[in-house]
């Protein structure tokens, strides 16, 4: 069996040769070294951060479909896209089935299991913005 590409791997975990292969081909391994199955250890379409290659497209279409509204606190956020996230309910970032995707504001997202670290990443001004929106929405 060839080397496995773990979901959480980022650039720091790869040596420079792996990284330059990734930039060229989307896989950390040189195609000459490995069989096709080994070349795509986690499936053909994964980014190094564990999301699928089409994630940006999927997440933006989910936000549009749900009207840019947080499914928990119901705020609508159109002008600050980084404050409206798309959450994987089962925490599998490769499972983009409709029922596994939930549109959440940055605060509600940070309240999901194992997501506490997200709260510290919300800038103070953004936090104030979200809290004000929530008051208007209630």
Residues that bind Zn ion (CB under 5 A): 70, 72-73, 87, 105, 108
Give the nearer residue to Zn ion in terms of CB position, either 14 or 88: 88
Give the nearer residue to Zn ion in terms of CB position, either 5 or 105: 105
- Residue 91 Cβ, how far from Zn ion at the closest point, in Å? 7
* β-pair partners for 88: 101
- Residue 130 Cβ, how far from Zn ion at the closest point, in Å? 7
CA-based nearest residue to 41, from 1, 8, 12, 10:
1
List helix spans (H) across the chain. Answer: 16-25, 36-39, 55-65, 106-110, 117-120, 124-137
Q: Are 33 and 40 in contact (CB under 8 A)?
A: no
- Residue 87 Cβ, how far from Zn ion at the closest point, in Å? 4
Give the nearer residue to Zn ion in terms of CB position, either 23 or 132: 132
Q: Is 7 helix (H, G, I), strand (E, B) or coil?
A: coil
- Residue 129 Cβ, how far from Zn ion at the closest point, in Å? 12
Give the nearer residue to Zn ion in terms of CB position, either 24 or 119: 119
67: left (phi over 0), alpha (psi -120 to 50) or beta: left
Give the nearer residue to Zn ion in terms of CB position, either 63 or 87: 87
- Residue 115 Cβ, how far from Zn ion at the closest point, in Å? 5
* Angstrom distance (rounded) from CA 14 to CA 87: 27
């Amino acid at each position: 069996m060839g080397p496995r590409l773990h979901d959480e791997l980022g650039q720091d975990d790869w040596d420079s040769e792996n990284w330059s292969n990734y930039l060229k081909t989307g896989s950390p391994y040189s195609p000459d070294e490995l069989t096709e199955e080994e070349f795509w250890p986690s499936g053909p379409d994964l980014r190094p951060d564990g999301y699928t290659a089409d994630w940006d497209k999927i997440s933006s279409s989910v936000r549009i479909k749900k009207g840019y509204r947080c499914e928990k606190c119901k705020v609508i956020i159109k002008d600050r896209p980084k404050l409206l996230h798309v959450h994987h309910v089962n925490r599998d970032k490769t499972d983009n089935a409709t029922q596994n995707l939930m549109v959440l504001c940055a605060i509600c997202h940070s309240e999901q299991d194992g997501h506490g670290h997200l709260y510290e990443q919300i800038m103070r001004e953004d936090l104030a913005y979200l809290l004000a929106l929530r008051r208007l929405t209630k």
